[in-house]
Chain A
Amino acid sequence: MNKKDIFLTSAFRENSVWKQILGICSSLAVTNLMLNSLIMGLGVIFTLICANFTISLIRNYTPRSVRMMAQTLIIGAYVIIVDIFLRVNIPEVSKQLGPYVGLILTNCILMGRAEAFAAKNAPVDSVIDGLGAGIGYTLVLLTIASIRELFGFGSLFGFTLLGSWWTRWSIMVMAPSAFFLLAVLIWLINDYYYKVKTG
Protein backbone atom coordinates (compact mmCIF):
# COMPACT_ATOMS: atom_id res chain seq x y z
CA MET A 1 0.00 0.00 0.00
CA ASN A 2 1.42 3.40 -0.87
CA LYS A 3 1.38 6.38 1.48
CA LYS A 4 -1.62 8.07 -0.10
CA ASP A 5 -3.65 4.88 0.18
CA ILE A 6 -2.79 4.51 3.86
CA PHE A 7 -3.95 8.06 4.51
CA LEU A 8 -7.20 7.77 2.56
CA THR A 9 -8.05 4.41 4.10
CA SER A 10 -7.66 5.51 7.69
CA ALA A 11 -9.25 8.93 7.11
CA PHE A 12 -12.29 7.98 5.02
CA ARG A 13 -12.76 4.38 3.91
CA GLU A 14 -12.18 2.97 7.38
CA ASN A 15 -13.02 6.14 9.30
CA SER A 16 -12.86 5.40 13.02
CA VAL A 17 -16.08 7.17 13.91
CA TRP A 18 -18.60 6.30 11.25
CA LYS A 19 -17.18 2.96 10.07
CA GLN A 20 -15.77 1.43 13.23
CA ILE A 21 -17.89 3.32 15.77
CA LEU A 22 -14.90 4.20 17.95
CA GLY A 23 -14.28 7.34 19.94
CA ILE A 24 -17.97 8.15 20.19
CA CYS A 25 -17.76 9.52 23.75
CA SER A 26 -15.74 12.57 22.94
CA SER A 27 -17.21 13.15 19.48
CA LEU A 28 -20.55 13.67 21.21
CA ALA A 29 -19.41 15.56 24.28
CA VAL A 30 -17.24 18.34 22.90
CA THR A 31 -19.25 19.15 19.76
CA ASN A 32 -21.43 21.94 21.19
CA LEU A 33 -18.89 24.55 20.00
CA MET A 34 -16.71 24.59 16.87
CA LEU A 35 -13.66 25.91 18.69
CA ASN A 36 -13.75 23.16 21.33
CA SER A 37 -14.11 20.54 18.60
CA LEU A 38 -11.18 21.92 16.64
CA ILE A 39 -8.91 22.00 19.70
CA MET A 40 -10.00 18.52 20.70
CA GLY A 41 -9.40 17.28 17.14
CA LEU A 42 -5.92 18.78 17.07
CA GLY A 43 -5.17 17.19 20.45
CA VAL A 44 -6.23 13.80 19.15
CA ILE A 45 -4.23 14.23 15.91
CA PHE A 46 -1.10 15.11 17.89
CA THR A 47 -1.54 12.18 20.29
CA LEU A 48 -2.30 9.76 17.46
CA ILE A 49 0.76 10.74 15.42
CA CYS A 50 3.17 10.66 18.35
CA ALA A 51 1.76 7.52 19.94
CA ASN A 52 1.66 5.65 16.63
CA PHE A 53 5.24 6.66 15.90
CA THR A 54 6.53 5.58 19.31
CA ILE A 55 4.58 2.33 19.39
CA SER A 56 5.79 1.47 15.91
CA LEU A 57 9.41 2.21 16.88
CA ILE A 58 9.39 -0.23 19.77
CA ARG A 59 7.07 -2.80 18.16
CA ASN A 60 9.82 -5.42 17.81
CA TYR A 61 11.01 -5.07 21.40
CA THR A 62 7.67 -5.19 23.21
CA PRO A 63 6.74 -8.64 24.56
CA ARG A 64 3.20 -9.58 23.53
CA SER A 65 2.04 -10.09 27.11
CA VAL A 66 2.65 -6.47 28.18
CA ARG A 67 1.81 -4.92 24.81
CA MET A 68 -1.48 -3.33 25.85
CA MET A 69 -0.06 -1.83 29.02
CA ALA A 70 2.94 -0.42 27.16
CA GLN A 71 0.67 1.16 24.56
CA THR A 72 -1.56 2.67 27.22
CA LEU A 73 1.42 4.21 29.03
CA ILE A 74 2.84 5.67 25.81
CA ILE A 75 -0.51 7.20 24.90
CA GLY A 76 -0.87 8.46 28.48
CA ALA A 77 2.45 10.29 28.31
CA TYR A 78 1.37 12.22 25.19
CA VAL A 79 -2.07 12.96 26.62
CA ILE A 80 -0.37 14.57 29.62
CA ILE A 81 1.67 16.74 27.25
CA VAL A 82 -1.49 17.85 25.41
CA ASP A 83 -3.28 18.54 28.68
CA ILE A 84 -0.48 20.66 30.14
CA PHE A 85 -0.07 22.54 26.83
CA LEU A 86 -3.77 23.41 26.74
CA ARG A 87 -3.88 24.38 30.40
CA VAL A 88 -1.00 26.81 29.98
CA ASN A 89 -1.85 28.33 26.59
CA ILE A 90 -5.63 28.32 26.31
CA PRO A 91 -6.97 27.92 29.85
CA GLU A 92 -10.61 28.83 28.96
CA VAL A 93 -10.92 26.09 26.36
CA SER A 94 -9.10 23.64 28.59
CA LYS A 95 -11.62 24.36 31.34
CA GLN A 96 -14.59 23.82 29.02
CA LEU A 97 -13.19 20.56 27.70
CA GLY A 98 -12.72 19.49 31.32
CA PRO A 99 -12.12 15.78 31.70
CA TYR A 100 -12.49 15.07 27.99
CA VAL A 101 -8.85 15.91 27.26
CA GLY A 102 -7.79 13.29 29.77
CA LEU A 103 -10.32 10.95 28.25
CA ILE A 104 -8.31 10.91 25.01
CA LEU A 105 -6.40 8.21 26.90
CA THR A 106 -9.36 5.84 26.89
CA ASN A 107 -10.52 6.98 23.45
CA CYS A 108 -10.84 3.72 21.56
CA ILE A 109 -9.42 5.30 18.38
CA LEU A 110 -5.97 5.54 19.99
CA MET A 111 -5.86 1.90 21.09
CA GLY A 112 -7.54 0.86 17.87
CA ARG A 113 -4.93 2.45 15.60
CA ALA A 114 -2.06 1.29 17.84
CA GLU A 115 -3.29 -2.28 17.79
CA ALA A 116 -4.48 -2.43 14.17
CA PHE A 117 -1.70 -0.50 12.49
CA ALA A 118 1.24 0.81 14.52
CA ALA A 119 2.02 -2.52 16.16
CA LYS A 120 2.58 -4.10 12.74
CA ASN A 121 3.95 -1.36 10.45
CA ALA A 122 6.98 0.88 9.99
CA PRO A 123 7.17 4.26 11.83
CA VAL A 124 6.65 6.51 8.80
CA ASP A 125 3.57 4.59 7.63
CA SER A 126 2.23 4.66 11.18
CA VAL A 127 2.57 8.43 11.34
CA ILE A 128 0.57 8.77 8.11
CA ASP A 129 -2.04 6.37 9.43
CA GLY A 130 -2.30 8.37 12.65
CA LEU A 131 -2.63 11.63 10.73
CA GLY A 132 -5.36 10.13 8.56
CA ALA A 133 -7.34 8.71 11.46
CA GLY A 134 -7.02 11.99 13.36
CA ILE A 135 -8.19 14.09 10.43
CA GLY A 136 -11.11 11.73 9.80
CA TYR A 137 -12.11 12.10 13.45
CA THR A 138 -11.73 15.89 13.41
CA LEU A 139 -13.90 16.19 10.29
CA VAL A 140 -16.74 14.32 11.98
CA LEU A 141 -16.40 16.52 15.06
CA LEU A 142 -16.45 19.73 13.03
CA THR A 143 -19.44 18.63 10.96
CA ILE A 144 -21.55 17.91 14.02
CA ALA A 145 -20.28 20.99 15.86
CA SER A 146 -21.06 23.33 12.95
CA ILE A 147 -24.73 22.30 13.02
CA ARG A 148 -24.99 22.39 16.80
CA GLU A 149 -23.31 25.77 17.18
CA LEU A 150 -25.16 27.39 14.27
CA PHE A 151 -28.62 26.36 15.45
CA GLY A 152 -27.89 26.40 19.17
CA PHE A 153 -25.97 29.67 19.48
CA GLY A 154 -26.48 31.25 16.04
CA SER A 155 -22.73 31.48 15.53
CA LEU A 156 -19.73 29.70 14.06
CA PHE A 157 -16.36 29.74 15.87
CA GLY A 158 -17.91 32.37 18.15
CA PHE A 159 -18.77 34.79 15.28
CA THR A 160 -22.47 35.59 15.31
CA LEU A 161 -24.07 34.71 11.98
CA LEU A 162 -27.72 34.59 12.90
CA GLY A 163 -28.77 37.79 14.61
CA SER A 164 -31.25 38.48 17.38
CA TRP A 165 -34.19 37.50 15.13
CA TRP A 166 -33.02 33.93 15.38
CA THR A 167 -34.70 31.83 18.06
CA ARG A 168 -31.99 29.62 19.47
CA TRP A 169 -32.75 25.93 19.48
CA SER A 170 -31.84 25.02 23.02
CA ILE A 171 -32.12 21.33 22.13
CA MET A 172 -28.98 21.73 20.00
CA VAL A 173 -27.00 22.73 23.09
CA MET A 174 -28.24 19.77 25.08
CA ALA A 175 -27.11 16.15 24.94
CA PRO A 176 -29.88 14.51 22.83
CA SER A 177 -29.10 16.50 19.68
CA ALA A 178 -25.58 15.07 19.61
CA PHE A 179 -26.98 11.54 19.44
CA PHE A 180 -29.47 12.46 16.71
CA LEU A 181 -26.93 14.31 14.56
CA LEU A 182 -24.34 11.55 14.76
CA ALA A 183 -27.03 9.00 13.88
CA VAL A 184 -28.12 11.02 10.84
CA LEU A 185 -24.49 11.49 9.76
CA ILE A 186 -23.84 7.75 9.97
CA TRP A 187 -27.11 7.14 8.10
CA LEU A 188 -26.20 9.46 5.22
CA ILE A 189 -22.69 8.05 4.88
CA ASN A 190 -23.90 4.44 5.00
CA ASP A 191 -26.52 5.23 2.39
CA TYR A 192 -23.89 6.84 0.18
CA TYR A 193 -21.61 3.79 0.38
CA TYR A 194 -24.57 1.51 -0.16
CA LYS A 195 -25.52 3.38 -3.35
CA VAL A 196 -21.91 3.35 -4.59
CA LYS A 197 -21.78 -0.39 -4.05
CA THR A 198 -25.08 -1.23 -5.71
CA GLY A 199 -24.75 1.39 -8.42
Chain B
Amino acid sequence: MTISPFILFWAAIFTSNILLTNFLGMCSYLSVSREVESSFGLGIAVTFVLILTSALNWLVYYYILVPLNLVYLEYIVFIIVIAATVQLLELLIERFTPALYYTLGIFLPLITVNCAIFGVALFMIIRRYTFLQTLAYSAGSGLGWLLAILMLAGIRTRIREKMVPTGLAGTGITLITTGIMALAFVGFSGIVNVQ
Protein backbone atom coordinates (compact mmCIF):
# COMPACT_ATOMS: atom_id res chain seq x y z
CA MET B 1 0.00 0.00 0.00
CA THR B 2 1.74 3.12 -1.17
CA ILE B 3 -1.23 5.42 -1.71
CA SER B 4 -0.52 8.77 -0.15
CA PRO B 5 -2.92 9.73 2.65
CA PHE B 6 -3.85 12.89 0.78
CA ILE B 7 -5.10 10.99 -2.28
CA LEU B 8 -6.88 8.53 -0.02
CA PHE B 9 -8.68 11.43 1.67
CA TRP B 10 -10.09 12.71 -1.64
CA ALA B 11 -10.86 9.23 -2.88
CA ALA B 12 -12.88 8.49 0.26
CA ILE B 13 -15.02 11.56 -0.35
CA PHE B 14 -15.57 11.30 -4.09
CA THR B 15 -14.56 8.13 -5.94
CA SER B 16 -15.44 5.62 -3.25
CA ASN B 17 -17.96 7.51 -1.17
CA ILE B 18 -18.77 5.41 1.88
CA LEU B 19 -22.52 5.79 1.37
CA LEU B 20 -23.01 6.04 -2.38
CA THR B 21 -20.62 3.26 -3.44
CA ASN B 22 -20.25 1.13 -0.30
CA PHE B 23 -23.82 1.55 0.99
CA LEU B 24 -22.71 2.06 4.58
CA GLY B 25 -24.65 4.09 7.12
CA MET B 26 -27.94 3.81 5.22
CA CYS B 27 -30.23 3.47 8.26
CA SER B 28 -29.61 6.87 9.83
CA TYR B 29 -29.12 8.36 6.36
CA LEU B 30 -32.69 7.45 5.42
CA SER B 31 -34.30 8.34 8.73
CA VAL B 32 -32.58 11.59 9.72
CA SER B 33 -32.33 13.29 6.31
CA ARG B 34 -35.65 15.17 6.54
CA GLU B 35 -34.14 18.49 7.69
CA VAL B 36 -30.93 20.09 6.49
CA GLU B 37 -30.02 21.30 9.97
CA SER B 38 -30.28 17.98 11.78
CA SER B 39 -28.51 16.24 8.88
CA PHE B 40 -25.61 18.63 9.28
CA GLY B 41 -25.47 17.94 13.03
CA LEU B 42 -25.48 14.20 12.52
CA GLY B 43 -22.91 14.43 9.73
CA ILE B 44 -20.49 16.39 11.88
CA ALA B 45 -20.98 13.96 14.77
CA VAL B 46 -20.37 10.96 12.49
CA THR B 47 -17.21 12.52 11.05
CA PHE B 48 -15.83 13.27 14.49
CA VAL B 49 -16.61 9.85 15.97
CA LEU B 50 -15.36 8.13 12.81
CA ILE B 51 -11.90 9.73 13.02
CA LEU B 52 -11.63 9.12 16.76
CA THR B 53 -12.78 5.49 16.79
CA SER B 54 -10.82 4.49 13.67
CA ALA B 55 -7.64 5.78 15.26
CA LEU B 56 -8.42 3.98 18.52
CA ASN B 57 -9.40 0.78 16.74
CA TRP B 58 -6.22 0.84 14.67
CA LEU B 59 -4.12 1.14 17.82
CA VAL B 60 -6.11 -1.56 19.61
CA TYR B 61 -5.85 -3.91 16.63
CA TYR B 62 -2.13 -3.60 15.96
CA TYR B 63 -0.89 -3.15 19.54
CA ILE B 64 -3.25 -5.40 21.50
CA LEU B 65 -5.06 -7.91 19.30
CA VAL B 66 -2.20 -8.85 16.96
CA PRO B 67 0.46 -9.38 19.66
CA LEU B 68 -1.99 -11.39 21.79
CA ASN B 69 -3.16 -13.43 18.81
CA LEU B 70 -6.77 -12.43 19.39
CA VAL B 71 -7.50 -11.19 15.88
CA TYR B 72 -10.65 -13.29 15.63
CA LEU B 73 -12.23 -11.15 18.33
CA GLU B 74 -11.94 -8.02 16.18
CA TYR B 75 -15.69 -7.54 15.63
CA ILE B 76 -16.59 -7.65 19.29
CA VAL B 77 -13.62 -5.53 20.35
CA PHE B 78 -14.31 -2.91 17.67
CA ILE B 79 -17.96 -2.55 18.61
CA ILE B 80 -17.06 -2.24 22.30
CA VAL B 81 -14.48 0.45 21.52
CA ILE B 82 -17.04 2.32 19.42
CA ALA B 83 -19.80 2.06 22.03
CA ALA B 84 -17.47 3.09 24.85
CA THR B 85 -16.09 6.05 22.90
CA VAL B 86 -19.55 7.30 22.02
CA GLN B 87 -20.69 6.98 25.63
CA LEU B 88 -17.61 8.78 26.93
CA LEU B 89 -17.97 11.51 24.35
CA GLU B 90 -21.58 12.03 25.34
CA LEU B 91 -20.63 12.45 29.01
CA LEU B 92 -17.77 14.84 28.22
CA ILE B 93 -19.81 17.00 25.86
CA GLU B 94 -22.68 17.18 28.32
CA ARG B 95 -20.33 18.17 31.15
CA PHE B 96 -18.20 20.76 29.40
CA THR B 97 -20.17 22.22 26.50
CA PRO B 98 -23.91 22.00 27.22
CA ALA B 99 -24.69 24.16 24.17
CA LEU B 100 -23.03 21.64 21.85
CA TYR B 101 -24.76 18.83 23.70
CA TYR B 102 -28.17 20.16 22.73
CA THR B 103 -27.29 20.21 19.04
CA LEU B 104 -25.11 17.08 18.80
CA GLY B 105 -26.03 15.09 21.90
CA ILE B 106 -29.26 13.61 20.60
CA PHE B 107 -27.44 12.08 17.64
CA LEU B 108 -24.69 10.35 19.57
CA PRO B 109 -26.61 7.21 20.63
CA LEU B 110 -27.62 6.74 16.98
CA ILE B 111 -24.00 6.62 15.95
CA THR B 112 -23.11 3.43 17.81
CA VAL B 113 -25.19 1.40 15.38
CA ASN B 114 -24.18 3.39 12.30
CA CYS B 115 -22.67 0.84 9.92
CA ALA B 116 -20.33 3.46 8.45
CA ILE B 117 -18.29 3.64 11.67
CA PHE B 118 -17.94 -0.12 11.96
CA GLY B 119 -17.47 -0.52 8.20
CA VAL B 120 -14.53 1.88 8.06
CA ALA B 121 -12.89 -0.01 10.91
CA LEU B 122 -13.22 -3.26 8.95
CA PHE B 123 -12.05 -1.70 5.67
CA MET B 124 -8.88 -0.31 7.24
CA ILE B 125 -7.96 -3.78 8.49
CA ILE B 126 -8.80 -5.58 5.24
CA ARG B 127 -6.89 -3.04 3.13
CA ARG B 128 -3.98 -2.90 5.60
CA TYR B 129 -3.85 0.88 5.95
CA THR B 130 -1.09 2.49 7.95
CA PHE B 131 -2.01 4.79 10.82
CA LEU B 132 -1.78 7.95 8.69
CA GLN B 133 -3.75 6.36 5.88
CA THR B 134 -6.41 5.31 8.39
CA LEU B 135 -6.73 8.88 9.66
CA ALA B 136 -7.06 10.23 6.13
CA TYR B 137 -9.48 7.53 5.05
CA SER B 138 -11.74 7.94 8.08
CA ALA B 139 -11.76 11.74 7.78
CA GLY B 140 -12.60 11.47 4.09
CA SER B 141 -15.31 8.88 4.70
CA GLY B 142 -16.89 11.02 7.39
CA LEU B 143 -16.91 14.11 5.19
CA GLY B 144 -18.20 12.06 2.25
CA TRP B 145 -21.06 10.81 4.39
CA LEU B 146 -21.78 14.37 5.55
CA LEU B 147 -21.82 15.52 1.92
CA ALA B 148 -24.23 12.77 0.88
CA ILE B 149 -26.71 13.32 3.71
CA LEU B 150 -26.63 17.12 3.25
CA MET B 151 -27.37 16.80 -0.47
CA LEU B 152 -30.21 14.38 0.19
CA ALA B 153 -31.71 16.57 2.92
CA GLY B 154 -31.64 19.54 0.55
CA ILE B 155 -33.37 17.58 -2.18
CA ARG B 156 -35.93 16.09 0.19
CA THR B 157 -37.14 19.51 1.36
CA ARG B 158 -37.98 20.20 -2.31
CA ILE B 159 -39.57 16.79 -2.94
CA ARG B 160 -41.97 17.41 -0.09
CA GLU B 161 -43.77 20.04 -2.17
CA LYS B 162 -44.15 17.74 -5.19
CA MET B 163 -46.71 15.10 -6.03
CA VAL B 164 -45.24 11.61 -5.58
CA PRO B 165 -47.16 8.36 -6.32
CA THR B 166 -48.56 6.94 -3.07
CA GLY B 167 -46.55 3.73 -3.14
CA LEU B 168 -43.33 5.54 -3.93
CA ALA B 169 -43.63 8.27 -1.31
CA GLY B 170 -41.22 8.20 1.61
CA THR B 171 -38.52 5.58 1.33
CA GLY B 172 -39.05 4.78 -2.35
CA ILE B 173 -38.46 8.25 -3.70
CA THR B 174 -35.58 8.73 -1.26
CA LEU B 175 -33.85 5.64 -2.61
CA ILE B 176 -34.36 6.78 -6.21
CA THR B 177 -32.92 10.19 -5.33
CA THR B 178 -29.95 8.45 -3.76
CA GLY B 179 -29.57 6.32 -6.87
CA ILE B 180 -29.36 9.39 -9.07
CA MET B 181 -26.82 10.91 -6.68
CA ALA B 182 -24.81 7.69 -6.85
CA LEU B 183 -25.00 7.86 -10.64
CA ALA B 184 -23.48 11.34 -10.50
CA PHE B 185 -20.71 10.08 -8.25
CA VAL B 186 -19.92 7.28 -10.70
CA GLY B 187 -18.64 10.12 -12.87
CA PHE B 188 -15.81 10.64 -10.39
CA SER B 189 -14.60 7.05 -10.64
CA GLY B 190 -11.40 6.56 -12.56
CA ILE B 191 -9.76 9.74 -11.28
CA VAL B 192 -7.96 7.72 -8.63
CA ASN B 193 -8.38 4.04 -8.02
CA VAL B 194 -8.39 2.98 -4.41
CA GLN B 195 -9.28 -0.48 -3.29
- Asked whether A and B interact, the reply is yes
Residues of A within 8 A of B (CB): 21-22, 24-26, 28-29, 69, 72-73, 76-77, 79-80, 83-84, 98-99, 102-103, 105-108, 111, 174-180, 182-184, 186-191, 194
Q: From residue 116 to 168 of chain B, which have CB atoms closer than 8 A to chain A?
A: 118-119, 122-123, 126, 165-168
CB under 8 Å from chain A, chain B span 61-79: 72-76, 79
Does B88 make an interface contact (CB < 8 A)? no
A98 to B186, CA, bound (A): 21
Q: Do A84 and B76 form a contact, CB below 8 Å, given A99-B119, A187-B165?
A: no
Residues of B with C-beta under 8 A to A98: 122, 126
With contact pairs A108-B113, A194-B166 given, residues A25 and B27 touching in the complex (Cβ less than 8 Å): yes
**B22 touching A174 by the CB < 8 A rule?**
no
* Closest A residue by C-beta to B171: A21
Chain B residue with Cβ nearest A195 = B167
Closest Cβ–Cβ distance, residue A67 to chain B (whole Å): 13
Question: In the assembly, what is the distance between CA of A91 and CA of B92, in Å?
Answer: 43
Which bracket fits the contact residues of B? 35 or more
Asked if residues A190 and B118 are in contact (CB atoms below 8 Å), the reply is no
Can you name the residue of chain B whose Cβ is closest to the Cβ of A79?
Answer: B75
In the complex, which residues of chain B have a beta carbon less than 8 angstroms from the beta carbon of A111?
A: 113
* Cβ of B114 under 8 Å from chain A: yes
Residues of chain B within 8 A of A188, CB atoms compared: 167
Say yes or no: B182 contacts A80, CB within 8 Å: no
Q: Are A183 and B168 in contact (CB under 8 A)?
A: yes
A24: nearest chain-B partner, CB-CB:
B26
Tell whether A25 pairs with B166 under 8 Å between CB atoms, given A99-B126, A175-B182, A187-B172: no
4 residue pairs, one from A and one from B, having the closest CB atoms: A179-B179, A99-B122, A190-B167, A191-B167
Q: Main SS of chain B's interface residues?
A: helix
In the complex, what residues of A have CB within 8 A of residue B89's CB? none
- A102's partner among B122, B168, B175 (CB-CB below 8 A) is B122
Q: Which residues of B contact A179 (CB under 8 A)?
A: 175-176, 178-179, 182
Q: Beyond A175-B182, A179-B176, is A24–B27 a contact (Cβ under 8 Å)?
A: yes
> B173 at interface (Cβ–Cβ under 8 A)?
yes
Q: Which of B74, B79, B173, B182 contacts A106 (CB 8 A)?
A: B79
Q: List 7 A-B contacts (CB under 8 A).
A: A29-B23, A29-B24, A103-B24, A106-B113, A108-B113, A182-B175, A190-B168
How far, in whole Å, are A189 and B175 apart by their CA atoms in the complex? 15
Q: In the complex, what residue of chain A is closest to B25 when comparing beta carbons?
A: A25
Q: Considering the chains assembled together, what is the distance between the CA atoms of A102 and B178 in angstroms?
A: 24
Complex alpha-carbon distance, A76 and B80, angstroms: 10
**Known contacts A106-B113, A176-B179: does B26 contact A25 (CB below 8 Å)?**
yes
B20 within 8 A of A: yes
- Chain A residue nearest in CB terms to B109: A68
